[in-house]
A and B are shown apart, each in its own frame.
Chain A
């Protein structure tokens, strides 16, 4: 997908996550639209493309976040690459891949974020965050993942017909 289409699209996703999703929380949690996009594209596209998606959407999220700049960008870029490599190597086309990938990605994303904050001398209660934030967020992201995955699958079919899903 050319950058002149990709950047505005990912900017729109980030804007939705910053403005609209916080106004309609589900049981007090916001679904991570940006993470779902990156994970879904990592499962559908050639290795490396989702890393670029993660970088672009991460920059927009970091601009709006109160956390140190670069946290979202780093986490999403690395996840985009890792999941893309994993799907190409181990589980391309597996129906269980999207829900499992988003749960693992939510965990890894939060661990990276909290790890960087801990390195920056923030006081982090790991147990509290992982049990009371990460776990519910992962379940919520898994529920909304189909809303992101199937439209992207349709797009991926047209862009990369040589790949099997």
Chain B
């Protein structure tokens, strides 16, 4: 019995040592080939299990004619998405028009980005499928079925037609992991669409979104749309993040903050798009204090009146 216990202890020590070595190798970036190989074997099973997961989700519904209602909802959601994208574009164009009229020496932002972005999202057949999510309640990641072979690289933004999803943090040959914006480790430079007040959108431990560090003097109210500002170069600007649901402002504090309802339904992510052609904004060419100028315009600037 003593020999048996000693063998078990030896096995345990061996397993723990192996695990610590694996952790050190991962932090040193040397475990990639093993993860790639193992995930390549695992991925088909994840895809197969997704079908069962979809059935489990369907079983929780209680309405009798679920299929017909779902189809109707899908059509309505598609229409809402198109209208939402169009609304964002219109408001951005209005805002840009006002800014250009006020500053004649202003370098014209490239309005084609919005159109290109929407076209990319609507017509690009190369959507990535979400094949799994982080197994822990402590982190919020998704796993997608595109990787370096499809041109995905670390740091690339991940979006859906509804809005910003997150950012790629790890890639394999045919898989990648993306940190969701609802994770507490995520920070996104953002701007309030109506007032252009800037702030930083952060997730928290429960997956809620908050825009923080909005200066006290700036106006922000319930219903305001929050977009990416493009500052820092991590994300393109004008991607929809969500809508303000609650503002918290205290006179004794330097900044105010607000809760945000994300436009993306993170519990039902199926397909996402990785922005592979995204070029980070060149903030060195932006005039101060305006935060929205971008590199060289691709067409002739509007002549002054």
Chain A contacts to B: CB under 8 angstroms: 11, 14-20, 22-25, 28-30, 32, 34, 46-48, 51-52, 55, 58-74, 77-78, 81, 110, 113-114, 116, 120, 122-123, 125, 128-129, 132-133, 137
Contact = CB atoms under 8 A, between A and B. Distances in A.
Contacts of B9: 48
A15 B184 contact: no
B136 A65 contact: yes
Contacts of A67: 134, 136, 138-139
A18 B131 CA distance: 9
Given A18-B46, A19-B52, A28-B206, 17 more contacts: A15-B45, A19-B132, A20-B52, A24-B56, A30-B137, A48-B11, A55-B18, A59-B38, A66-B169, A67-B134, A67-B139, A68-B27, A69-B23, A72-B135, A77-B19, A120-B27, A137-B137
A133 B170 CA distance: 25
The 3 A-B pairs with the shortest beta carbon distances in the complex, nearest first, are A70-B23, A66-B141, A48-B8
B23 A23 contact: no
Given A70-B20, A74-B20, A128-B205, A20 B53 contact: yes
B77 to A, nearest CB: 18
Contacts of B268: 23
Given A19-B53, A23-B57, A51-B12, A72 B22 contact: no
Contact of B8 (A32, A47, A120, A128): A47
B143 interface: yes
A15 B19 contact: no
A52 B137 contact: no
Contacts of B5: 47
Contacts of A11: 42, 45
B185 A15 contact: no
Nearest to B32: A69
A112 to B, nearest CB: 11
B135 A65 contact: yes
B90 interface: no
Contacts of A66: 134, 139, 141, 169-170, 177, 179
Contacts of A120: 27
B135 A51 contact: no
Interface string B141-165: 1010000000000000000000000
B267 interface: yes
B136 A60 contact: no
B70 to A, nearest CB: 15
14 contacts: A19-B50, A20-B53, A23-B54, A23-B267, A28-B207, A29-B137, A59-B38, A60-B42, A61-B136, A65-B139, A66-B169, A66-B177, A73-B22, A137-B137
B81 interface: no
B57 A24 contact: yes
